[in-house]
Amino acid sequence: MARRRSDDKRSRILHAAVKVFARRGYFASRVSDVARRAGVADGTIYLYFRNKEDILVSLFDEVMSEHLEGRRRQVEPEAPAPARLRAIAERHLGLLGSNRDLAVVFQVELRQSTKFMERFTASWLQDYLALIGEVIEQGQREGSLRADLPVKVATKAFFGVLDEMVTSWILSRKPYDLAALAGPVVDLFLRGAAGSHPAREARPLLRAVAAGRKR
Amino acid sequence: MARRRSDDKRSRILHAAVKVFARRGYFASRVSDVARRAGVADGTIYLYFRNKEDILVSLFDEVMSEHLEGRRRQVEPEAPAPARLRAIAERHLGLLGSNRDLAVVFQVELRQSTKFMERFTASWLQDYLALIGEVIEQGQREGSLRADLPVKVATKAFFGVLDEMVTSWILSRKPYDLAALAGPVVDLFLRGAAGSHPAREARPLLRAVAAGRKR
Amino acid sequence: MARRRSDDKRSRILHAAVKVFARRGYFASRVSDVARRAGVADGTIYLYFRNKEDILVSLFDEVMSEHLEGRRRQVEPEAPAPARLRAIAERHLGLLGSNRDLAVVFQVELRQSTKFMERFTASWLQDYLALIGEVIEQGQREGSLRADLPVKVATKAFFGVLDEMVTSWILSRKPYDLAALAGPVVDLFLRGAAGSHPAREARPLLRAVAAGRKR
Amino acid sequence: MARRRSDDKRSRILHAAVKVFARRGYFASRVSDVARRAGVADGTIYLYFRNKEDILVSLFDEVMSEHLEGRRRQVEPEAPAPARLRAIAERHLGLLGSNRDLAVVFQVELRQSTKFMERFTASWLQDYLALIGEVIEQGQREGSLRADLPVKVATKAFFGVLDEMVTSWILSRKPYDLAALAGPVVDLFLRGAAGSHPAREARPLLRAVAAGRKR
DNA sequence: AATGAATGAGAGTTCATTCAT
DNA sequence: AATGAATGAACTCTCATTCAT
């Protein structure tokens, strides 16, 4: 509050960091690169962040919570689970698909080490997975999702699919609309890949799977 | 390449690197850490590897090609697609689930930067995704998989789910059997999450999805 | 070039480098030796010089151009060639004779390799030899120097004599006044070593020589 | 004697060293470069030389003494001084002019540091300068050289001129016959550069020089 | 609050030398 | 005598961080 002007500078540094980290990678980026891009002196960085790592962590904490967590309500808590899953997918792919640099930082740079990964998991991912899990359980209650679904696996699977779409999009040379994948992805998640005429040999497998799942 | 006398020594260095990189992270690991753990002098590392990065890259190239590519045949080319997908999942989760350090290197350390990611994608992931894609197309031909499935999306989704299972397993404090997830995961992939009594509001969504997919 | 605040610090580093390189030799000198002697941190060196070699090169470029090239006019362009040659010799021997460390760097360290030698030749020596050559040609025009003198050989000879005086002085244990050699050296260069009563066997040679000597 | 075959290997190493040192410079050359060029294993070098420096020193000691000192007699002790100086110049320029790599090593690499320079001076150069000095004194006795010549200065000057001719030849891009310079160089040394009609202003200078020389 | 020159610890890498074979 | 894989000391250079201005 009292440091409104400073917040502007802090913000400039964070935005500069996203660009710099996305292009050169976190370790290869020098603090002075971020400072130059932000238009501040090297030393100024340390008035807003404890150290280089703190820039990355803050990036994640602030941008993430601001952009994603704040929208939890917007996923229409009243809607049925399939619609809510679709909304989550659209939001996820839409946000990252609209800012490639940010996506690179989140998909690649923030996963530098188990240390970051753990922090990532502990603070934000846990909440995000909890949201997805709640929606899935809601779906089971309302009958829109299979009751025999292992919730944890389904939750991670849903996130894993979205995550891979983003990573693949980042690494692709050809630009395409990431958000447009929300529909097909949710459709696949809900309906599955199996066709109506499964090969004969597939049967026993599926039965085995169903049996094994029952643990 | 420049393998001199003892492949044994090269191998010892690689195994030491897996452990060291997994525990401290690639960037935080010092070459001398790897040397000490391998029981060789610092300089010896450079008789077998061009530089520190070459250790990481070799780790990936050799372990990967040896363990996974070499097993392409073992996925029983004769079997129906669902069985083959299950075999792939079992292999994937089985391999990484049996060596936590290796899994950490593959899930975390090798994804340090877009540079590594691109290499990762270009050399091995591409082949792996191609294998999955072929199996999916085979399934469509034999009718075991939906003919209207967007193959690319389904391929990435299948990989994404497996990948997330591994990452989640790595970061989990509780040890559990990663390979045991192969069944539920493939089941979910094939049958989908949707239940038999979808909520009324879900219908239009699914129809929209199905429509959009048709492009 | 990249001179930041204090030319003073840059200068301190250069002066320290002269002393360190002269005493231990360029290759045996460590950058930290130069830093310590200059009273700066190791890293500070790199704020003023690209690398260790750049220190040596800068030493040569700056000291040389400052001390010698800038004095081209001072060699009294109006004076007759012999007087100008004497002025050049006095300057040459005077400058290097007044700073033994600098002389060591110029006579020994800067001639480490053909790479340095070529740079040395290309940038400064060429100009210096050109100056000597012009003076010799002037002398031929005004009749003070033999018209049949091969200019290039005479130019190199003049420089070679001066150069050897400096090198010999450096390596000598006994300290003596280098600049005092300017007179004898120029006298020898102008008048030659031959006496008035050549030995009998020398006749044929000397006659050929004597023909030209007719001053 | 007893190690005739070894002498062959020692010789091969020395010849390889001349080539390698001449091309890359002594410090930039690796012992293994010399070994490879000599066709021996790295370790073999140490059966013949104490260390890397010993190769350079031996190069100088053996090649030099063999090629130059051994020829002291050949400079016809009976001949008059001018003829002997001419013979020395021809030998000096002839030897180095016939083997560019050897010349590079002697002119450049052996002058790496004052340490080498001093050794160079102490062992061989001193003898060489002594020979030149004796010839000059002989010339003064027989009247073929000026009696008022400062012997030391004249000796160093004679060597300095030859030395500069070699260095200049090494660094020159254009190949030319170094030995052909012996005549002009000795002629200049004996007869001097002065012409028959010195400019008026030159007089006082020359007188001053002559006076100063008299110390 | 802001600067940016200065710091100095630290790491990768090279290569002369050794020694078991 | 010869080998060449192995050693490890030593050096250059980088860059996150500090602090006097």
3-state secondary structure of D112: coil
**Which has the higher per-residue pLDDT, C108 or B211?**
C108
β-bridge mates for residue B145, sequence order: A194
- Cα D13–Cα D18–Cα D24 angle in degrees, nearest 5: 115
The predicted-structure confidence for D31-52, as pLDDT tens digits, reads as follows: 999 999 999 999 999 999 999 9
Q: Do D104 and C112 touch (CB under 8 A)?
A: no
CB D198 within 8 A of CB D117: no
Residue D175: the pLDDT is 92
Å: A30 CA to E3 C1'? 18
> Rounded mean pLDDT of C107-130?
85
Residue D88: the pLDDT is 93
Nearest to C83 by CA among B166, A42, D168, D199: D199
Residue B142: the pLDDT is 94
3-state secondary structure of B194: strand
- Of the listed ranges A36-45, A196-205, D77-86, the least confidently predicted one is A196-205
> Rounded mean pLDDT of B92-115?
90
Residue C214: the pLDDT is 38
Instruction: Give backbone dihedrals phi and psi of D145, rounded to 5 degrees, phi first.
Output: -125, 150
Whether the pLDDT of residue A172 is over 50: the answer is yes
β-bridge mates for residue B194, sequence order: A145
Interface test with B, best of A126, A144, A169 (most B CBs within 10 A): A144
In the complex, which nucleotide's C1' lies nearest to the CA atom of residue B33? E11
Residue A114: the pLDDT is 84
Whether chain D lies against chain B with 3 or more Cβ pairs closer than 8 A is no
Kindly state the helix (H) or strand (E) to which residue D169 belongs, with its residue range.
Answer: helix D151-171
Å: C26 CA to E19 C1'? 33
The predicted-structure confidence for A181-206, as pLDDT tens digits, reads as follows: 999 999 999 999 988 755 444 444 44
Residue A67: the pLDDT is 65
Residue C199: the pLDDT is 47
> pLDDT category, D78, cuts 50, 70, 90?
confident
Cα separation, B179 vs B94, in Å, equals 5
**Which has the higher per-residue pLDDT, C122 or B67?**
C122
Structure tokens at C5: 């605040």
Average of per-residue pLDDT values in chain D: 86
> pLDDT category, A64, cuts 50, 70, 90?
confident
Residue C211: the pLDDT is 41
> pLDDT category, C115, cuts 50, 70, 90?
confident
What residues have CB less than 8 Å from B133, skipping those under 6 apart? B151, B152, B155
The predicted-structure confidence for B135-173, as pLDDT tens digits, reads as follows: 999 999 999 999 999 999 999 999 999 999 999 999 998
- Judge whether C195 is closer than 8 Å to chain D, CB to CB: yes
Alpha helices (runs of H) in A59-201, residue ranges in sequence order: 65-67, 81-97, 100-107, 114-120, 126-142, 151-171, 182-191
Residue A74: the pLDDT is 62
Residue C69: the pLDDT is 56
Residue of chain C with shortest Cα separation from D180: C153
> Rounded mean pLDDT of D171-187?
95
Structure tokens at D155: 């000796």
Whether the pLDDT of residue D76 is over 70: the answer is no
How far is residue A55 from each of residues A51, A118, B214, measured CA to CA in Å? 7, 17, 44
3-state secondary structure of D194: strand
The predicted-structure confidence for D109-146, as pLDDT tens digits, reads as follows: 988 788 888 888 887 888 889 999 999 999 999 999 99
Instruction: Give backbone dihedrals phi and psi of B133, rounded to 5 degrees, phi first.
Output: -60, -40
> Rounded mean pLDDT of C106-127?
84
- Judge whether C41 is closer than 8 Å to chain D, CB to CB: no
Whether the pLDDT of residue B182 is over 70: the answer is yes
Whether the pLDDT of residue C172 is over 50: the answer is yes
**Which has the higher per-residue pLDDT, B197 or A188?**
A188
Whether the pLDDT of residue A141 is over 70: the answer is yes
Whether the pLDDT of residue B199 is over 90: the answer is no
Residue of chain D with shortest Cα separation from C172: D118
Whether chain C lies against chain D with 3 or more Cβ pairs closer than 8 A is yes
How far is residue D164 from each of residues C85, C156, C162, measured CA to CA in Å? 18, 7, 10
Whether the pLDDT of residue A77 is over 80: the answer is no
- Judge whether A145 is closer than 8 Å to chain B, CB to CB: yes
Residue A72: the pLDDT is 58
Cα separation, B95 vs A75, in Å, equals 38
- Judge whether B149 is closer than 8 Å to chain A, CB to CB: yes
> Rounded mean pLDDT of C86-99?
93
- Judge whether C144 is closer than 8 Å to chain D, CB to CB: yes
> pLDDT category, D27, cuts 50, 70, 90?
very high
CB atoms within 10 A of CB A185: 28
Cα separation, A107 vs A170, in Å, equals 8
The predicted-structure confidence for D87-111, as pLDDT tens digits, reads as follows: 999 999 999 999 999 999 989 998 8
pTM of the model: 0.85
The predicted-structure confidence for B56-75, as pLDDT tens digits, reads as follows: 999 988 877 776 655 555 66
> pLDDT category, D11, cuts 50, 70, 90?
very high
Whether the pLDDT of residue C176 is over 80: the answer is yes
Residue of chain B with shortest Cα separation from A181: B153
> Rounded mean pLDDT of B100-111?
91
> Rounded mean pLDDT of A76-103?
91
Residue C114: the pLDDT is 82
Residue C124: the pLDDT is 82
Whether the pLDDT of residue C3 is over 50: the answer is no
Q: What domains are defined for chain D?
A: 4-51 (1.10.10.60), 68-209 (1.10.357.10)
